[in-house]
Amino acid sequence: MEFTGRIIAILQPRGGVSKAGNEWKVQEYVIESHDQYPRRMCFEVFGSDKIEQFNIQMEEELTVSFDIDARQWQDRWFNSIRAWKVERVGATAQQPAAASQGAPLPPPAPAAPDFLASDANDDLPF
């Protein structure tokens, strides 16, 4: 699943040590869509390496790919929305423009017309 919007909050990171003795860290973020009635979603990034790799900042426009899972604790169920990929919106459009600042881009090729005058004598019955 994907969600596109702007980061409006970065929550305090949480961490600890698992029963097996491994350290863990999780960071939560809140993203808001640009719909007529904006939706918000709180998602988490698990692992110090992923937190550093994604490097999410306030006010960034992102598309977040995530998985949803539920777990039970003391007869209650809780949802977990965990991001597995984060892409900056417009990042691919900005990179080629920055690379070609020294040389102008060639004009786009003209589109082929949908109807040519030579097609007027076709054999269609209608």
* Confidence (pTM): 0.69
Q: What's 112's DSSP letter?
A: P
Strands (E), the chain: 2-10, 14-17, 23-32, 40-46, 61-73, 76-88
CB proximity list for 15: less than 8 A, separation 6 or greater:
23, 24, 25, 26
pLDDT tens per residue across span 16-58: 998 999 999 999 999 999 999 999 999 999 999 999 999 999 9
What topology is assigned to 2-91 in CATH? OB fold (Dihydrolipoamide Acetyltransferase, E2P) (2.40.50)
pLDDT per residue as tens digits for the range 69-101: 999 999 999 999 999 999 999 865 444 444 444
- Residue 25 backbone phi and psi in degrees, to 5: -145, 140
**Domain layout of the chain by residue ranges:** 2-91
Identify the residue whose tokens are 């040519």: 116
